[in-house]
A and B are shown apart, each in its own frame.
Chain A
Amino acid sequence: MPMNLTLSHLTKRFGATRALTDVGFTVAPGERVALLGHNGAGKSTLMKIVLGLIPYDSGEVVVVGQAPGSRAARRDVAYLPENVAFHPALTGLEQIRTYLRLRGENPRDAMGLLERVGLAEAARRRIGTYSKGMRQRVGLAQALIGRPKLLVLDEPTSGLDPISRRDFYAMLDALAAEGASILLSSHALTEVEARTDRIVILSKGVMVANDTLAALRRQAALPIQLQVAARPETADAVAARLSGARFNGATVSLTCSHAEKLARLSQVAALGDLIDDVEVIPPSLEDLYSHFSKQVPQ
């Protein structure tokens, strides 16, 4: 299957600093990939290279079969910059109409797009009066213009309330289902966890992870937490038999590796009436993220 985005051995320097070193991954049609990393890890630089806004030093970048930044590539790629900005004197409707014309689409579609992002009521107000979340929605609306094959979204949900975030990811799901590729960066790890197919982690310009969340969990082999809810009168006995730590009155906490998990669970089950409930807490994306981010190859 031809990829919508292919990066191989991508390297970019700003003077003496290495912004990206030997980064390589692909994004297939219909795939949603999250790009994670601390501030300054190289996420925005990578996105700007994919968009053709800045040149790169070595490696290869192919965007929907074209050179990044070529007119053909720009036709098929939509971008939502971090902290997107517009001229404050224009209204949301005028701004989207302009963007539609620039992509050779019908400017009458503008209202429909603004309705999709929940901005219909404010469409005729100047963008200068908008809140950050509203400006972000104008940004989203322009990214939906036409049928982009690749969407590059830099912190797309910053400034959006929880409901708008959910709607936004539903929109992305629909686009991906139609075959669009999505590359997005985010600091909201819990959203990324549920809503993307694959995770790429950059650390100081080096790609330290590129896999599905489940595979990254296996690779990292971080301890899994079991929380066993006992009864007040049995808590001490349970803690002793499982050799775990008691906390919050009647709860006993254990940690184990992925391989030990089932054996530990059957020990817990064997306690029968002594316990009330058991919960398995896998390592969170935050844990995974800090695990991989710490691996900084020199």
Chain B
Amino acid sequence: MTAILAIATAEFRIALRNRWVAIAVVLMALFSLVLAAAGSAPTGTLGADKLSVTVASLTSLAVYLVPLVALLMSFDAVAGEVERGTLPLALTYPLSRAEILFGKFLAHLVILALALAVGYGLAAAATLWFDPRATAGLPALIRLFWTSLLLGAAFVAIGYALSALARRPGAAAGLAIGLWLVMIVLYDLGLLAAVVADDGGRFTTDIFPWLLVGNPADAFRLYNLAASEATAAAAGIGAAANTIPSAHALASIVLWPVIGLALAVLAFRKVTP
């Protein structure tokens, strides 16, 4: 445990010096404030409090932004050490490769948590300032916070796996961006196209829900939707959310960081210094 903490401390310090902490926090704060401002516009017809509406917008934002920030922080984790030549020495110290990754993971989670807390905190503060009734939306915001953290954790872990597979920072960055495009942007488009082509057949009823819940980003969206009607109304894919039990979505969000870390450790073990 001391070893994991030692790696985490050094890694956090490096992220601080490299401005990664600042970049993640400013990015989240900026986007959250913009959405909070947009959410404060009169929305009488929805009947929901303003914070719940803001949470709905934040959910859509987080699906894009959190995986991106997570991958940007993690793609260098193994490939960077290989490139700098710092890996051989680190591997002669009495700690396992898994412990090295867990140390980095801890540091990156803390940075993500910090960015999310600042971003969502600002959004909540701004909304409550305009609408004191909005405290009703606080549980939804807290749920959004920890599910966002899990979503980020999944992509940080997957980023390590890509980093270990690529072994060069340039290649790892390319893979990370490619993965983001596929899993966050193209995946949903592909599913949508398949559902349209299928026209209500077996794919739509039996396979599609599993494919949807199998992607951590979609599971994240579904879970937050299912838990909040306002969110569902805002996001407009409430129908899909209703066909999948939210327990399945939750399981997907919780399992993905574990699966990602396991893949990362496996890939890292194959790296010869």
For residue A170, CB closer than 8 A to chain B, the reply is: no
Q: What's the tally of chain A residues with a CB closer than 8 Å to chain B?
A: 30
Q: Are A71 and B89 in contact (CB under 8 A)?
A: no
Binds A, one of B37-45, B91-99, B131-139, B234-242: B91-99
For residue B270, CB closer than 8 A to chain A, the reply is: no
CA A77 – CA B272 in complex, angstroms? Answer: 19
Shortest distance between the CB of A8 and any CB in chain B (Å): 22
CA A94 – CA B89 in complex, angstroms? Answer: 16
CA A63 – CA B71 in complex, angstroms? Answer: 39
* Nearest A-chain residue to B99, judged by Cβ: A102
Provided the pairs A81-B89, A89-B18 are in contact, do residues A98 and B272 lie with their beta carbons within 8 angstroms?
A: no
CA A220 – CA B13 in complex, angstroms? Answer: 55
Provided the pairs A54-B272, A71-B94, A89-B18 are in contact, do residues A101 and B89 lie with their beta carbons within 8 angstroms?
A: no
For residue A295, CB closer than 8 A to chain B, the reply is: no
Binds A, one of B50-58, B80-88, B184-192, B259-267: B80-88
The one of A48, A74, A75 in contact with B88, judged by C-beta atoms closer than 8 angstroms, is: A48
Provided the pairs A101-B6, A102-B95 are in contact, do residues A94 and B88 lie with their beta carbons within 8 angstroms?
A: no
For residue B17, CB closer than 8 A to chain A, the reply is: yes
CA A31 – CA B3 in complex, angstroms? Answer: 31
* Nearest A-chain residue to B80, judged by Cβ: A87
For residue A289, CB closer than 8 A to chain B, the reply is: no
- A-B contacts counted at CB < 8 A amount to 73
For residue A83, CB closer than 8 A to chain B, the reply is: yes
Shortest distance between the CB of B131 and any CB in chain A (Å): 43
For residue A53, CB closer than 8 A to chain B, the reply is: yes
For residue B201, CB closer than 8 A to chain A, the reply is: no
Q: Are B93 and A81 in contact (CB under 8 A)?
A: no
Q: Are B85 and A98 in contact (CB under 8 A)?
A: no
CA A102 – CA B92 in complex, angstroms? Answer: 11
For residue B2, CB closer than 8 A to chain A, the reply is: yes
Q: Are B92 and A98 in contact (CB under 8 A)?
A: no
In the bound complex, residues from chain A placing their C-beta under 8 Å from that of B93 are 74, 99, 102-103
In the bound complex, residues from chain A placing their C-beta under 8 Å from that of B181 are none
Shortest distance between the CB of A186 and any CB in chain B (Å): 19
Instruction: Give residues of chain A (55-81) contacting chain B, Cβ–Cβ below 8 Å.
Output: 71, 74-75, 77-79, 81
Provided the pairs A86-B86, A87-B86 are in contact, do residues A51 and B92 lie with their beta carbons within 8 angstroms?
A: yes
In the bound complex, residues from chain A placing their C-beta under 8 Å from that of B6 are 98, 101-102
CB-defined interface of B168-181 with A at 8 Å, one 1/0 digit per residue?
Answer: 00000000000000
Q: Are B88 and A89 in contact (CB under 8 A)?
A: no
In the bound complex, residues from chain A placing their C-beta under 8 Å from that of B193 are none
Shortest distance between the CB of B81 and any CB in chain A (Å): 9
For residue B9, CB closer than 8 A to chain A, the reply is: yes
By Cβ-Cβ distance, the 10 closest A-B pairs, closest first, are A101-B6, A89-B17, A85-B85, A74-B94, A79-B92, A98-B10, A75-B94, A102-B93, A89-B14, A51-B92
Given contacts A85-B84, A101-B6, 5 further A-B contacts (CB under 8 A): A89-B13, A89-B18, A94-B13, A101-B9, A102-B3
Between-chain CB contacts (< 8 Å), 29 pairs: A48-B88, A48-B273, A53-B88, A53-B91, A54-B273, A74-B92, A74-B93, A74-B94, A75-B94, A78-B92, A81-B88, A81-B89, A84-B85, A84-B89, A85-B86, A86-B86, A87-B84, A89-B14, A89-B18, A90-B17, A94-B10, A94-B13, A98-B7, A98-B10, A102-B7, A102-B95, A103-B93, A103-B94, A104-B3
**B binding-site residues for A, Cβ under 8 Å:** 2-3, 5-7, 9-10, 13-14, 17-18, 84-86, 88-89, 91-96, 272-273
**A binding-site residues for B, Cβ under 8 Å:** 48, 51-54, 71, 74-75, 77-79, 81, 83-87, 89-90, 94-95, 98-99, 101-104, 126, 139, 142
